[in-house]
Structure 1
Amino acid sequence: MNLANRKDSTSRRAALAVSLGIGAAALVLAQHMAFSAEAAVVIAPPALDEPVSAATAHEETAVFAGGCFWGVQGVFQHVRGVTRAVSGYSGGQQDTAHYETVSGGDTGHAESVKVTFDPSKVTYGQLLQVYFSVIQDPTQLNRQGPDSGTQYRSAVFPQNDTQRLVAQSYIAQLQKAHAFPAPIVTRTEPFKGFYPAEFYHQNYLTLHPNSAYIALNDMPKVENLKRLFPNLYRDKAVLVEAAQ
């Protein structure tokens, strides 16, 4: 692990240590909270979205990466129509899909979230709108907030050609509209597989809303979801169960 990647996760590791009962990490966490949550941006919905019809299946999956998966999962768990959101790893090989290995930054993996949703209640395009508006800053290259490294990159892993077309068209739409003050660096990457993260990473935002890392970096994202997308927000998070 190089120095940059060692530095990237200092606050993350301290937060995790605190949640696991290792109180000595609290001071370290406080010293490394130099960044606050990415600001939400009001953006137009995608001009091109997946078609919704009576023949549409009521279950679809999507995979997103946008920084620490704690916050990405936590926001999607509050989106109406989402039936499951799992933190994990995507972009690399199965044998390197472990937290300590991925934290080294050279596995090809990104911390990702696999979202299962009912497209008759929330479309893929709407999920993309939440992703770009609330969850992450798509102009940050290989980092989000206090975390840096390729494992925190902004990436979408389309599950089919339609998702790929919708995602690429939306990125082009937002670029053309200059929706953000800098160019969008979010990539659409080939889907190589999704590997769930260790269970202590699941439901982290819901279980630890008052930890310094979550309170500063991620809870504002949930509030922005509620404020900007009231029709998509639900108060009760859909959680990952241990047996699943």
Structure 2
Amino acid sequence: MRARASFGIIAGLTLAAWAVGGASIAESARAIPVPAPKIDAARPAALQTAVLAGGCFWGMEAVFEHLKGVKSVTSGYAGGDQGSANYDAVSTERTRHAEAVRIVFDPRQISYGTLLRVYFGVAHDPTQLNRQGPDTGPSYRSAIFPIGAEQERVARAYLAQLAAAKVYPRPIVTRIERGPFFPAEAYHQNFARRNPQHGYIRTWDEPKMAALKAAFPALWQDGWSG
């Protein structure tokens, strides 16, 4: 079910009534104290790009847009072909795309490994298979799309580090994938920024932003990037 399309049905429910995988919204949005990566990417002067998938791109975009050093975040689709990279097609769950965000960042201010730390600690739940919160289907999967061998090396090392640390009560299901990124439709871009009172944003994404500010105060910026 595309919960965003039918949000009016559920908007009146309390947080406690919305149980997903045994956890309420408030619990699932709580930051997980993940360790800093032991292996990180180089930090050149040039801007770098990362592509991450972790459920609805509205919330992913909102989280990463509040990080110092992030220059822009674009919502889109990764893992499928260009012809079906549109919301109607992806919603059929037959296109192989994942809802994802493309993050342009300054590695002198924030490293790729730090982006992954926020991704695993705040932005989504990496133990949910083909879903996030109320949204179900493979387009909501947890996946990293490394750009280059170095990002893949860092991502694989961090996945192994987190698994060894056993910081989650369930196994991590995040996949390392390859595939191009295609920007989503204009109405999806900067959605949380433009629609702060939207029911989905207030219920599912505001708690993530609050968790980010509490868990990573040195990374938080009050304004939006881009």
Q: What TM-score does the superposition give when structure 2 sets the normalisation length?
A: 0.92
C-alpha RMSD over aligned residues: 1.6
Structure 2 equivalent of residue 215 of structure 1: 202
Which residue identity lines up with residue 133 of structure 2 in the other structure? G
SS in 2 for 1:65: strand
**How far off is 1:206 after superposition?**
1.2
Structure 2 equivalent of residue 234 of structure 1: 221
SS in 2 for 1:87: strand
Q: Percent identity, please.
A: 46
Structure 2 equivalent of residue 13 of structure 1: 5
Correspondences of 1:2-41 after superposition (within 5 Å): 7=1, 9=2, 11-15=3-7, 26-27=8-9, 29-30=11-12, 34-35=18-19, 36=25, 38=28, 39-41=30-32
SS in 2 for 1:13: coil
C-alpha spacing 1:27/1:183, structure 2 compared with 1 (3 Å): closer
Whether the aligned pair in 2 keeps the contact of 1:30 and 1:212 (CA below 8 Å) is no
Residues 13-38 of structure 1: per-residue CA shift (max 9 Å, x gap): 135xxxxxxxxxx3465469835253
Q: What TM-score does the superposition give when structure 1 sets the normalisation length?
A: 0.85
Aligned mate of 2:180, from 193, 196, 209: 193
Count of residue pairs brought into register by the alignment: 217
Aligned mate of 2:189, from 185, 202, 223: 202
CA distance, structure 2, for counterparts of residue 31 and residue 177 of structure 1: 35
Structure 2 equivalent of residue 42 of structure 1: 33
Structure 1 equivalent of residue 154 of structure 2: 166
Structure 2 equivalent of residue 64 of structure 1: 52
Which residue identity lines up with residue 181 of structure 2 in the other structure? F
> For structure 2, which runs of at least 5 residues remain unmatched after alignment?
20-24
SS in 1 for 2:100: strand
CA distance, structure 2, for counterparts of residue 216 and residue 179 of structure 1: 25
Spell out structure 1 runs of 4+ moving beyond 6 A. none
Whether the aligned pair in 2 keeps the contact of 1:84 and 1:117 (CA below 8 Å) is yes
Correspondences of 1:96-175 after superposition (within 5 Å): 96-175=84-163
**How far off is 1:57 after superposition?**
3.1
CA distance, structure 2, for counterparts of residue 120 and residue 31 of structure 1: 43
C-alpha spacing 1:224/1:31, structure 2 compared with 1 (3 Å): closer
**How far off is 1:186 after superposition?**
0.3
CA distance, structure 2, for counterparts of residue 183 and residue 203 of structure 1: 32
Structure 1 equivalent of residue 22 of structure 2: none
Residues 30-69 of structure 1: per-residue CA shift (max 9 Å, x gap): 46983525332011110000123xxx13200000000000
Whether the aligned pair in 2 keeps the contact of 1:14 and 1:29 (CA below 8 Å) is no
SS in 2 for 1:12: coil
